[in-house]
Amino acid sequence: MSESVYDGATGTFVSPQAREAAEAEPLLEIADLRVEFRTRDGVANVLNGVSYRVSVGETLAVLGESGSGKSVTAQAVMGILDTPPAFVTGGEVRFHGENLLAADADRRMAVRGDGIAMIFQDALSALNPVFTVGFQIEEQLRVRRGMTRADARKRAVELLDLVRIPGAARRIREYPHQFSGGMRQRAMIAMSLALDPEVLIADEPTTALDVTVQAQIMDLLAEIQRERDMGLILITHDLGVVADVADRIAVMYAGRIVEEADVYSLFRSPGHPYTAALLESLPRLDLKGQELRTIKGLPPSLTDIPPGCPFHPRCAMAADVCATTVPEFRHLGDGRASACHFAGEMQSRG
């Protein structure tokens, strides 16, 4: 994330990317995306009108608890949802203004990898165990770029060097199980970059890695994103990762975006009670020895989302209106928006 600048009009610090993104034509725009899973136990409304956008050189973090719909949104963008049980029932996914949901399979395949690429959270499952890491990188270069085997091998070594895998020329002949967790994740990043995508979606890229390796992976992603001027969508539940690398944050709950803001504004004065509760649950040095704060209750079942605001059964600010009326996603100015009946009140408190 680039160095922030002070905005005297709003009294906040805003990154150049966050300001430019509000004015720039988006690379990727998701509009009112709706996905349901039809199962024997009923219909799960997994996405309920998700909208967000990412522009050139911008890092958007999509934040939320497990089951909030973060990964399903990414899979819908990539066109890799299993149907059945998943069905896209509404909305658009626009890449350079083109609605990919209305495109045929060949067109979506052409965009996948070249235009939009994805790093999966479990590299061991995403990589094919019976082929070498080098073969898996080289294959897409030969098929999609028409490279010779020798040229594809040379480029694969360069990509492994790019993601700082030592001895790339040797390790390219090894299998995924011969790589450590951090090295497998680096290999996944190399695969995702092979076709020079304009948008990179990183789905929990540091899951199950120790803290030191997590920092290395995030630093690597940030450096590559700056060098290539890509749009980066970072899917995570780790608020610490978000604070270090994001320009803007979209917070999800029960298949909806409940708040969106630049990273500085959101941490300084959250505009939704769910975001505030997430921030309050972070360990703090000034509260050493005290019990960690938690969000009471559990996220709702997606087959039985409560009426009104989905967060109201767990919300300390809930009023009668919250149990009956779904709050609109309201723009609060300065690029901020919140789906809370009391968003303005929360913002004035901040």
Average pLDDT, the chain: 89
Average pLDDT over residues 117-137: 92
What CA–CA distance (Å, rounded) separates 162 from 112?
Answer: 21
Pairwise pLDDT comparison (287 vs 55), residue with the higher score: 55
Quote the pLDDT of residue 267: 92
For the chain, the structural domain boundaries read 5-115+195-349, 125-194
pTM of structure? 0.88
Nearest CA to 167 out of 191, 185, 183 is that of: 183
Pairing mode, strands 5-7 and 42-54: unpaired
Quote the pLDDT of residue 184: 93
* Residue 252 pLDDT exceeds 70: yes
Burial class (CB in 10 A: 0-12, 13-18, 19+), 87: middle
What CA–CA distance (Å, rounded) separates 270 from 247?
Answer: 15
pLDDT in tens, 303-342: 999 999 999 999 989 999 999 999 999 988 888 999 999 9
What pLDDT band is residue 239 in, cutting at 50, 70 and 90? confident
Pairwise pLDDT comparison (84 vs 16), residue with the higher score: 84
Pairwise pLDDT comparison (349 vs 300), residue with the higher score: 300
Q: Are 204 and 235 in contact (CB under 8 A)?
A: yes
Pairing mode, strands 231-236 and 59-63: parallel
Residue by residue, DSSP assigns 246-308 as -SEEEEEETTEEEEEEEHHHHHHS-SSHHHHHHHHTS--GGGTTSPPP---S-PPPTTSPPSS
Q: What percent of the chain has pLDDT over 90?
A: 70
19-33, 182-196, 243-257, 316-330: least confident range: 19-33
Average pLDDT over residues 172-187: 94
Q: Are 260 and 248 in contact (CB under 8 A)?
A: yes
Quote the pLDDT of residue 294: 85
Quote the pLDDT of residue 332: 86
Q: Are 202 and 232 in contact (CB under 8 A)?
A: yes
* Residue 154 pLDDT exceeds 50: yes
pLDDT in tens, 72-101: 999 999 999 999 999 999 999 999 999 999
Nearest CA to 330 out of 301, 309, 300, 299 is that of: 309
Average pLDDT over residues 175-188: 93
What pLDDT band is residue 29 in, cutting at 50, 70 and 90? very high
Domain 5-115+195-349 class, CATH top level: alpha beta
* Residue 9 pLDDT exceeds 50: no
What CA–CA distance (Å, rounded) separates 98 from 194?
Answer: 23
Quote the pLDDT of residue 10: 40
96-105, 138-147, 175-184, 234-243: least confident range: 234-243
Which residues are registered as beta bridge partners of 63?
236, 251
Burial class (CB in 10 A: 0-12, 13-18, 19+), 49: middle
Quote the pLDDT of residue 333: 81
